[in-house]
């Protein structure tokens, strides 16, 4: 159960982000629930690491004085599970945009998948998706993309500690990845398909851990709301 002092002194809430919610919408919902519960106008609330709307899983929500730890929490390794669909591509590298057939992936072997996944381990150069929130020329990349503007996206170094193929049911390939800060799993999905020569996009994604914080210990927004109401 919670008190107002708990939130003002600082909480790190482990929330299971619903599908199609933005991370900002989760922050706004938590912020509104706390303000409503205690009849206050202001309290700091933020998140430590954005999840795309089409991704689910662990989102760390910081309140009060704990918002000062957001940058530290964002630097922790993150673990994801998900599915790459081979044989097609999309402009956003996920299902936000139209699926464009590329090549038949039926001849791709388990050995090829293993060899290819190993190529993404360690320090790698990666281009963020054009449909991302990174700022360039004063606008988010997705704003340039939606206006049909061409922008030069520079590669950046990221680190992938583990890339495990967990199930193969072509065209779908299930995976588990543990990586460092700033890694775009959508870009890995796109690049993975490109290396195989058949194309690929991210079909589903779930963040299962941030550092020592795990999805298994998280709660839904509805559960948080019930617990908050029970605190009165």
Is-catalytic flag, 52? yes
| Dihedral of alpha carbons 46, 49, 52, 56, sign | negative
HEC-encoded secondary structure of the chain: CCCHHHHHHCCEEEEEECCCCCHHHHHHHHHHHHHHHHCCCCCCEEECCCCCCCCEEEEEEEEHHHHHHHHHHHCCCEEEEEEEEECEECCCCCCCCCCEECCCCCCCCHHHHHHHHHCCCEEEEECCCCCCCCEECCEEHHHHHHCCCCCCCCCEEEEEEEEEEEEEECCEEEEEEEECCCCCHHHHHHHHHHHHCCCEEEEEEEEEEECCEEHHHCECHHHHHHHHHHCC
- The active-site residue out of 5, 6, 16, 52 is 52
Q: What gap in Å lies between CA 3 and CA 34, rounded to an integer?
A: 10
Q: Which residue matches tokens 């004085």?
A: 65
**Active site amino acids:** 52
């Amino acid at each position: 159960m919670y008190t107002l002092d708990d939130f003002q002194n600082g909480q790190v809430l482990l929330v299971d982000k619903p599908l199609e919610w933005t991370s900002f919408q989760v922050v706004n919902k938590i912020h509104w629930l706390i303000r409503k519960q205690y009849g206050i106008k202001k309290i700091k609330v933020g998140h430590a690491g954005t999840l795309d709307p089409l991704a689910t899983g662990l989102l760390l929500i910081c309140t009060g004085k704990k918002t000062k730890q957001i940058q530290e929490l964002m630097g922790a390794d993150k673990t994801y599970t998900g599915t790459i669909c081979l044989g097609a591509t999309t402009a956003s590298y996920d299902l936000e945009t139209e699926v464009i057939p590329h090549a038949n992936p039926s001849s791709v072997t388990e050995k090829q998948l293993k060899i290819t996944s190993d190529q993404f381990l360690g320090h790698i150069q990666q281009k963020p998706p054009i449909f991302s929130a990174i700022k360039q020329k004063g606008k988010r990349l997705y704003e340039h993309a939606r206006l049909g503007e061409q922008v030069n996206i520079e590669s950046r170094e990221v680190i992938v500690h583990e890339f495990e193929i967990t199930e193969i049911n072509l065209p779908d390939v299930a995976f588990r990845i543990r990586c460092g800060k700033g890694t775009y799993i959508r870009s890995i999905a796109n690049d993975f398909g490109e290396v195989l020569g058949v194309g690929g996009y991210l079909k589903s994604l779930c963040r299962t851990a941030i550092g020592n914080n795990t999805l298994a210990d998280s709660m839904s927004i509805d559960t948080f709301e019930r617990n908050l109401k029970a605190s009165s």
